[in-house]
Structures are given as structure tokens and as C-alpha cells.
């Protein structure tokens, strides 16, 4: 199991979730690694044979678009409902990743999502973990997805 | 298993980690629930029979003090080494919590820590999860620890 397997699993989960929930395709592209962020970040941790976390980073506007797609209501700012919706999105993606990667054995368990939002903040992952960030475009919405994995 | 068991487990972990690593006692007090934050937040997720996450929220100064206590070096600002140190602290505390709560069976697996820092940001947990925040005083250092748990 390598970070490339995780990337393939994440691409599969993105296609699955965006086609099912939003009737959209999700295009994945290369991205710089994420550190300085503004907008909203939603993270689901995982632990087991492999441990790490999946983080989504997006603008307030992208978060409102996604919440609207999920809930069928319009949002003008990142309120608790939008935070819950982006938490649910990262949860579905992490669930899809787990399903794709766990063949004969369950590879890891998922935590519940934690969400951060603000005008300017930095994110940091343990220095010794493997990191991979991709850009995602789904319909009019763009965001970044970051995988941080510790292979034991 | 209730949030009170988690609180007792967290208090045990705080005593264990601060006496072992810092030769300090850790006093736990009531605290308002944390939402608006500045400084640094370090989060470890957990998943299994019970899922959730443990978050530490502290000022940059408190983070530098703790990193100094762990590494024996002085720090003037929150750099990558300080972030790693606070990630290691929340990792040790989540490990202690797991050890205290897992009697006959392993209750959950841990993710790796994710760290956020900045001047002004908000944190959010899923609306339907149980939340408990405590204040912690250890020597000259004060911070807040927040448990977010989903009982299935």
C-alpha cells in the first residue's frame, strides 16, 4: 500500500460521491501542497493498519455551493449548517476511500469530522507523514483535498 | 460508556502525561465550550466502537512553553517544530485516554494529529455529537481540551 493507492482510492471516492450526490463529475488535478488557508477546512481522521487524515480545503463560496447542492437551500455565509454539510462531504469521501482500499480486511476506522473556518490560518501535519494534495473541480466548484498518511 | 467516562479518562491521561513528561500536575477545571479560537489547535481523531476526536486549543505562548518542556529548547513563535510538539502532546493524551477506556476490548483506533494555527479562526464539530470542554492548568501553562464523541 502506497500513497498512490490512496490517491487512486480518493479519485474513485470523488467520482462516486459527486456523481451520486450532485450528479456531477469530479476532475482531479495536481495541486501545490496546502499550508496557508482561508475559508473552511474539514478533516476526518482514520486509524488502524494505516493511520492519517483526509482534509478538504475550500473557499467560503465553494462551501456554500456544496451545501446548497447537498441540502437544496441557498447559503450566503459559512454557518453551522454549511459546516455540517462540508463535514458530511469529507465523511462520505473518507468512507469511499476506505471502501475502495479495504479489500480482504478493514484497513482503518474513521473518526468524526472536525471543521475549521476563518480568514487566515495555517494547517500542519506531522513532519514524518506522507502528504499528497490534489485540486478537485466539480461543476462550478473547486477545492483541494489533502491526504496525510503514516505507513507503519 | 458516557461522556463522563471520557472526562475521567482524559483527566487520567492528563495526570499521566504531565507527571511523566513534564514532572507537573495537571489541574482540570470547567470551561466554556470552545468555538472562536486564536493560537493553535491540535486534533487527534478516533474511530471504532465509539468515534470522535480530542482537540487541544492553546495560545502561541502556551504552545511554545509546552514544546520547550518536551524538547528542552526555547521557542519564540509557533514554527513547524512547535506544531509537531503539540501534535505529539495530543497524540499522547489520546493514547492515554484510549488505554484508560479500553478494558476488555479496544474501544477505538487513533488517527494521526492535524494542527491548525492562526490569529482568528472558528472550530466546529458535528451538531449531533456530544461535546465536553475542560480547562487545564499545568505549571505556568493553561490550555483547553475538547472532547467530541459520537456514541453509536
What pLDDT score does B37 carry? Answer: 82
A43–B114: do the CB atoms touch at under 8 Å? yes
Q: Which of B51, B109, B146, B148 would you mutate first to test chain A, the one with the most A CBs within 10 A? A: B109
Residues in chain B closer than 8 A to A79 (CB atoms): none
Share of chain A above pLDDT 70, in %: 100
Does residue B39 come out as left (phi exceeding 0), alpha (psi in the -120 to 50 range) or beta?
left
ipTM score assigned to the predicted complex: 0.94
- Residues A64-82 have a mean pLDDT of 96
**Which residue range is the domain that position A92 belongs to?**
3-151
Decide if pLDDT at B34 tops 80. no
CATH code, domain carrying B17: 3.40.1550.10
CA distance A149 to chain B (A): 8
B45–A48: do the CB atoms touch at under 8 Å? no
Cα R_g (chain B), whole angstroms: 14
Those residues with Cβ within 8 angstroms of residue A82's Cβ, 6 or more apart along the chain or in another chain: A40, A63, A64, A67, A75
Q: How many domains does chain A have?
A: 1
Question: Across chain B, what does the average pLDDT equal?
Answer: 95
- Where do the DSSP E strands lie in chain A? 26-30, 36-48, 50-58, 108-110, 114-124, 130-138, 141-151
CA distance B81 to chain A (A): 9
Nearest by CB to residue B109, choosing from A80, A109, A121, is A109
C-alpha span between B43 and B96 (Å, rounded): 15
B21 exposure class (CB count in 10 Å sphere: 0-12, 13-18, 19+): middle
pLDDT digits (tens, 9 = 90+) for A122-142: 999 999 999 999 999 999 899
C-alpha span between B95 and A94 (Å, rounded): 22
Q: Which of A116, A125, A129 would you mutate first to test chain B, the one with the most B CBs within 10 A? A: A116
- Residues A76-89 have a mean pLDDT of 96
pLDDT digits (tens, 9 = 90+) for A26-62: 999 998 877 778 899 999 999 999 999 999 999 999 9
C-alpha span between B114 and A47 (Å, rounded): 13
pLDDT digits (tens, 9 = 90+) for B118-146: 988 999 999 999 999 999 999 989 999 99
Share of chain A above pLDDT 90, in %: 88
Decide if pLDDT at A150 tops 90. yes
Q: What pairs with residue B36 in β-bridges?
A: B122
- Residues B81-97 have a mean pLDDT of 97
C-alpha span between A37 and A40 (Å, rounded): 8
- Residues B10-36 have a mean pLDDT of 92
Amino acid at each position: 500500500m502506497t500513497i498512490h493507492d490512496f490517491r487512486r482510492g480518493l479519485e474513485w471516492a470523488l467520482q462516486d460521491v459527486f456523481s451520486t450526490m450532485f450528479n456531477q463529475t469530479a476532475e482531479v488535478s495536481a495541486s501545490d501542497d496546502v499550508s496557508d488557508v482561508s475559508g473552511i477546512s474539514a478533516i476526518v481522521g482514520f486509524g488502524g493498519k494505516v493511520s492519517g487524515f483526509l482534509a478538504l480545503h475550500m473557499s467560503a463560496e465553494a462551501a456554500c455551493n456544496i451545501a446548497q447542492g447537498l441540502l437544496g437551500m441557498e447559503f450566503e455565509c459559512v454557518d453551522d449548517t454549511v459546516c455540517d454539510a462540508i463535514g458530511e462531504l469529507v465523511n462520505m469521501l473518507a468512507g469511499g476511500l476506505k471502501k475502495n482500499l479495504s479489500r480482504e480486511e478493514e484497513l482503518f476506522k474513521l473518526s468524526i469530522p472536525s471543521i475549521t473556518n476563518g480568514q487566515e490560518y495555517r494547517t500542519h501535519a506531522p513532519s514524518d507523514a506522507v502528504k499528497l494534495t490534489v485540486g478537485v473541480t466539480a461543476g462550478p466548484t473547486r477545492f483541494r483535498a489533502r491526504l496525510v498518511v503514516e505507513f507503519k
